[in-house]
Copies of this chain bind each other. A is one copy, B any other.
């Protein structure tokens, strides 16, 4: 079986997959003992993701251990920040910190850069992953959406409010839009380079899409996402997945976005999402905390999601990254329950 028969890629293309595909947000992660063993070889997170062989090793783990239908490159949405001039560090247990955040009115302009030169370690990791993965397993590359990356660039990390970024959005929307535009351009280049290096699909993470008013998103932020996808479309035709955390706030706003797959968090139902996207492929959206439930509750939740996703292809996934304390057995129960389902066929126009 080769990539052409990948249920994940069939679903991305809007076709009826041979079985319901599933992969897991942050599936290469701390909940796996095998991941922690590799992680412990590195003094810090950045040196880990800058080592292609280690990235390939942890990228393959969930494919082997769980039998998921796609691998996602092990990297980070903030890799674009250092070449944009930011001093980025990951402190243990704290997440990212930027010591020189961008501030409204500081006159600093973000440089354009060549991602092939500056982010070669990511593209080398793509090549190492592709070489290490089974030939039938697609590899997903990714980047942060411009707004989500800007939240860290402006607030500097260390919280989930991003109030400085939101204040800038209100105070100087046109100046802030220029920042988003620059991030969109380098992100498009970076994603195109990942496609070039061997990815079969690309996911854009709008992890903080749900913290702004829909009118502000539409007016100031959405143009940068459209610009990013348009520039990417000029360079590659592999499927683009747009993941939005807090999608219930924005689904009306995002309806026209030219992404192949809409991926949502758990705080809206797949049936509401289906009503918005029509027969286009959907991805998501189990609550990561579901994995702590008894396995029969997990199987019930899988059946319910399957019914709610009817009307188009569905790629099962969590609605947000798996937590470090997630039980592997619960995750296996979820993956197995998805694979025991018939593919979603009802109402697909084919």
Are B212 and A267 touching (Cβ within 8 A)? yes
User: In the docked arrangement, what's the CA distance between A213 and B290, Å?
Assistant: 11
Q: Mark interface residues in A195-222 (1 if CB within 8 Å of B CB, else 0).
A: 0000000000000001111111000000
User: In the docked arrangement, what's the CA distance between A167 and B293, Å?
Assistant: 7
| Nearest Cβ on chain B to A160's Cβ, whole angstroms | 6
| Nearest Cβ on chain B to A285's Cβ, whole angstroms | 8
- What residues of B have a CB within 8 angstroms of the CB of A169 in the complex? 289
User: In the docked arrangement, what's the CA distance between A214 and B213, Å?
Assistant: 20
Are A267 and B166 touching (Cβ within 8 A)? no
User: In the docked arrangement, what's the CA distance between A301 and B210, Å?
Assistant: 19
Which residues of chain A from 253 to 272 have any CB-CB distance to chain B below 8 Å in the complex?
A: 266-269, 272
Q: Is the interface of A mostly helix, strand, loop or mixed?
A: helix
Range for the number of chain A residues in contact with chain B: 35 or more
Given contact pairs A213-B267, A215-B304, A267-B214, A171 touches B249 in the complex (Cβ within 8 A):
no
Are B163 and A323 touching (Cβ within 8 A)? yes
- What residues of B have a CB within 8 angstroms of the CB of A252 in the complex? 272
* Cross-chain pairs A/B with CB under 8 angstroms, 11 sampled: A166-B287, A167-B289, A170-B289, A171-B293, A171-B297, A210-B267, A211-B267, A214-B268, A215-B269, A215-B304, A252-B272
